[in-house]
Structure 1
Amino acid sequence: MPLSPGQLEEIEAQRNQTAPTRRVVAPGMEAHLYTAHPVLDHGFVRVIDYMGDDAAICQAARVSYGKGTKSVQNDEGLIRYLMRHWHSTPFEMCEIKLHVKLPVFVARQWIRHRTANVNEYSARYSILDREFYIPAPENLAAQSEVNNQGRGAALEGEEAARVLEYLKADSARAYDHYEEMIGQDGQQGLARELARMNLPANIYTQWYWKVDLHNLFHFLRLRADAHAQYEIRVYADALCKVVADWVPFAYRAFEDYRLGAVTLSAQMLACLRRMLAGEAVTQENSGLTAREWREFQAVLAD
């Protein structure tokens, strides 16, 4: 269960509170505020706070104090221009603060995005919950034969059952020993900051993560991509839905020019021009490496 009854009561109390304000609010984001969106088996993402909206992006780009005579159509066109030409600063005027519950191994991927403010649950001070990420059978996959950091076909039958049993048993045993080590019933008990090193990487942690929209889009471009690891991609997918409601103009531009777009190298672009001119281009005469050629073919196939 991602949230305890006490946490659900706390969220409901937060959502029932209102406060008068002169600052801009985004109706789409107000609907998400404090709500926990489940991810994986025990995880979630929820919005704690935010600043700005589509209009704030345009205001920063125009360096004005209001909408002036600009229409909604002008705003969307401006945002698309900014996204298309990589003018990132106006997007930094919007910020979001999230509460995220996620497995430790996913957190280690996530934290590589260093352009955010993070405060994580302290296992030196507090005791971690007995909650582990155990993949659904369809997400147990073999090592890819062509990608050293990717997955191949799903494991089946006895092999899948054996792997799931290992994951469950090892997680339970590690946590049992963790509890025994920190226990003070008839013993001093090992310090929590030391006992935590025995816990597996699939145990859940939590953090507050605050980031501006420009850097959030960079995160989503990488982590919502079809090639991203499934366990972090589902978090990115959940965030995409939130951002689409928060800044709809900016998100549509992001989908068109980043998430749903591709980048071609100069050599790939030259190959494409040759193909359009009717020339038969092969890997051997393309000037591309075998891997670049495969990636180029994948782009054309899409």
Structure 2
Amino acid sequence: MRAAEHERRCAIGDGKALSDALRRRVQAGEIVSPYPNLFASALYWASLNAEERSLHSIRALSKLHPKWVFAGLSAACVYGYEHSYMLHDGTVHIACTGGITKRDSKRLHRVYMSSIPRWRSGDILITSPARTLIDCAALPFDRALAVYDSALRYGHVSKTDVSTLMIQTNCDDQAVKKLLVHANSMRENGGESWAYAHIIELGYAEPLFQITFDNPNNYAMPYRVDFCWKLADGRIIVAEYDGVAKYADTSNPHRANLKAKIAYERRREQHLKEQGVTTVVHLFSETVDDKQLLDATLMNAGVPKIR
């Protein structure tokens, strides 16, 4: 167990006696088994986030099955592409040229491919970046877009690579094409990708990304805004994705830091308005998650709808 934790993977029940002993500890609550014959300390497992748990299972399974080629969301994890932790449900995705077998775990999802484009990350076999993106198109659009954006941002693949492979692949062409139309390496994180997807799905005009404005306090470090609409009537609307409502927690012990952040945001907003920005709207994750609230927020800010 200690060796497995050091290697950032699950422990493997190697042999019946060891496997039986580990399963007894699972029943006692000391150990968890996220996949058949894979084990981890309950305390250690609780310290991991959803992506780390998936990677622990993948690393262990790659030792058990060195010829397995991980695909879809599993491959995206290995590549380090950004995505929502909500997508993880314990399922492991692998590429195969055959169908499901009777011995397959319920947590194993086989992705059929007539030809498997194999890449390698250390000791782990994975599908190529282009094939990984094609398979991730099966995810909801607002969740898949972060995967596409980060793959482009990392320089692992181009839109041409994906569209070329799409023509040769039995896949959801429309889903892939929609993602390629909207994918953009300029978005800096998965939260921005998610927010943008909802903005577009609500019918709002395409924003500009990462537009810079002067920072009078430090011209070497200009302000960069997440979304910007420059309208024909001269108005400039800025939307910032701020994730969780980080200023709302009055119980936070670091109140001085919070006050400094709030003061910085106020100065920043004032500087933006001095350069022609007419409206600044902050999009918290709670706002983006509630499409009615997001719609009302953008509409009140004056962002134009095109459909």
More helix by share: 1
- What TM-score bracket applies, with the shorter chain setting the length? under 0.3
TM-score when normalising by structure 2: 0.23
TM-score when normalising by structure 1: 0.23
Tell me: higher relative CO, structure 1 or 2? Use CA pairs within 8 A at least 6 residues apart. 1
More strand by share: 2
